[in-house]
Amino acid sequence: EMFGQLTTGLESAWNKLRGTDQLTKDNIAEPMRDIRRALLEADVSLPVVRSFIESVTEKAVGTDVIRGVKPEQQLVKVVNDELVQLMGGEVSDLVFAKTAPTVILLAGLQGVGKTTVCAKLAYYLKKMGKSCMLIAADVYRPAAIDQLTILGKQVGVPVYSEGTEAKPSQIAKNGIKEAKSKKTDVIIVDTAGRLQVDKAMMSELKEVKRAVNPTEVLLVVDAMTGQEAASLVSTFNVEIGITGAILTKLDGDSRGGAALSIKEVSGKPIKFVGRGERMEDLEPFYPDRMAQRILGMGDVLSFVEKAQEVMRQEDAEELQKKILSAKFNFNDFLKQTQAIAQMGSFSRIIGMIPGMNKVTPAQIREAEKNLKFMESMINVMTPEERERPELLAESRERRIRVAKESGKNERQVSQLVAQLFRMRAQMQKMMGAMQGQDTPDMEG
């Protein structure tokens, strides 16, 4: 079973949370140790494990309790989302050149499945409706050229070769000329593989890369080599500059270390995975599907997502009701500011709004400081005061207490209270206007 070992290792983490009613720093500690152990046993590289554990812990403890969702289910969801992020988030599509042909350069050590990947990729592209050509630039192993020729025939794609005498960069150049004359859409260049990374290999690769100016440079790595695969991707990227990795032999990998480490260690995404020896056993790499497969809990995930969605809807309806009945209070105020904070830092959001790019970094810092400032006062209010801001409006004593406990002065508290009532009035006006749209005009 692919990644079976990791799946089993993670299961003990969920089991330890059974019977608890909330994720806390304390009750999460032991399950997190299980997750850490499972990842290390899966051969995920240590720095990756560390930062993963850190961000899962932080997110898990910070999440709101969702009605009907058990803590262990909540943790599954957090781990899933972080796994998806770890593996690059979105699927990383193959990039095609704006004007054909697209040149894909394939590199990799011997035995990783590079030759097979050439043919599999050609087969995949052919199914997409692209015409392909393979170029055999691995001149050190005559058998490699023969193998590529045979595989090319098998998938119905021409293979360009000049035997073992010519220079790889020259073969590649000639091959591209030939492919252009045939109006080929995609050219895949197979380069020499060696038993290990060496200078000669790197400099030859660099030369071929210069000669063919590829759109994609993909390093083929073997999943069975775990975190070693990740550091290879990193090395090749530093040495020659690559655009991504192809991870082969995933079908035989029960651990998962390579799939989980590559993006984080090298900064480069996995674009395809090989899952068998047949030509159709190459597919794009989907981080979300991979995470689900690792956790083996697709139904739990969709359940938690649905529950979250219901909560969000109820929250929004609740807020709307409150605004209409003039009950918008400090808790809602906090929820709103926290929602903004959760969306990422203020500055990034403002940067995304068209026309807002004239806001200076200083102004943004000021806005962020303002939010923190207001929060510190709300934090020391009693639950009743947050619920009913009128209490603060009516009692100077209460305002003085809030000021004292938050280290602010009375005037600042008064301003905050006034601001809340202003917001309330504004919101009611807004809602009134929105509702007025569907009611008959009384003045007319």
Question: Which positions touch ligand GDP (CB under 6 A)?
Answer: 108, 110-116, 193, 248-249, 251-252, 274-277, 281
Q: Which is nearer to ligand GDP, 82 or 190 (CB)?
A: 190
Q: Which is nearer to ligand GDP, 45 or 248 (CB)?
A: 248
**Cβ 33 to ligand GDP, closest distance in Å?**
33
Tell me how crowded residue 339 is: count the other CB atoms within 10 A of its CB. 10
Q: Are 413 and 377 in contact (CB under 8 A)?
A: yes
Q: Which is nearer to ligand GDP, 32 or 117 (CB)?
A: 117
Q: Are 291 and 84 in contact (CB under 8 A)?
A: yes
**Cβ 295 to ligand GDP, closest distance in Å?**
23
Distance between CA atoms of residues 426 and 157, nearest Å: 67
Distance between CA atoms of residues 231 and 219, nearest Å: 12
**Cβ 190 to ligand GDP, closest distance in Å?**
8
Distance between CA atoms of residues 28 and 411, nearest Å: 42
Q: Which is nearer to ligand GDP, 276 or 284 (CB)?
A: 276
Q: Which is nearer to ligand GDP, 112 or 392 (CB)?
A: 112
In the numeric block, which tokens belong to residue 289?
A: 């599907």
**Cβ 196 to ligand GDP, closest distance in Å?**
13
Rg (the chain; Cα; Å): 29
Q: Which is nearer to ligand GDP, 272 or 333 (CB)?
A: 272
In the numeric block, which tokens belong to residue 199?
A: 């200078």
Distance between CA atoms of residues 51 and 58, nearest Å: 11
Q: Which of 57, 96, 259 is nearest to 188 (CA)?
A: 96
**Cβ 210 to ligand GDP, closest distance in Å?**
23
Tell me how crowded residue 391 is: count the other CB atoms within 10 A of its CB. 16
**Cβ 191 to ligand GDP, closest distance in Å?**
10
**Cβ 52 to ligand GDP, closest distance in Å?**
26
* Phi, psi dihedral angles at 419 (to 5 degrees): -60, -40
Q: Which is nearer to ligand GDP, 177 or 278 (CB)?
A: 278
DSSP designation for 95:
P
Q: Which is nearer to ligand GDP, 81 or 251 (CB)?
A: 251
Q: Which residues contact 85 (CB under 8 A, 6 or more apart)?
A: 287
* CA 154 distance to own-chain centroid: 37
Q: Are 103 and 214 in contact (CB under 8 A)?
A: yes
For residue 101, is the peptide bond before it cis, meaning its omega torsion is within 30 degrees of 0? yes
**Cβ 289 to ligand GDP, closest distance in Å?**
17
**Cβ 141 to ligand GDP, closest distance in Å?**
8
Please report, for residues 18, 30, 78, the alpha-carbon distance to residue 27 in angstroms, rounded to integers and kept in the order given: 10, 7, 15
Q: Which is nearer to ligand GDP, 113 or 175 (CB)?
A: 113
**Cβ 232 to ligand GDP, closest distance in Å?**
13
Q: Which is nearer to ligand GDP, 75 or 112 (CB)?
A: 112
Pairing of strands 270-274, 282-284: antiparallel
- Grouping H, G, I as helix, E, B as strand and the rest as coil, residue 25 is helix
**Cβ 274 to ligand GDP, closest distance in Å?**
3
Q: Which of 261, 294, 259 is nearest to 274 (CA)?
A: 259
- In one-letter notation, the amino acid at residue 62 is G
Burial class (CB in 10 A: 0-12, 13-18, 19+), 210: exposed
- Grouping H, G, I as helix, E, B as strand and the rest as coil, residue 217 is strand
Q: Which is nearer to ligand GDP, 76 or 125 (CB)?
A: 125
Distance between CA atoms of residues 118 and 121, nearest Å: 5
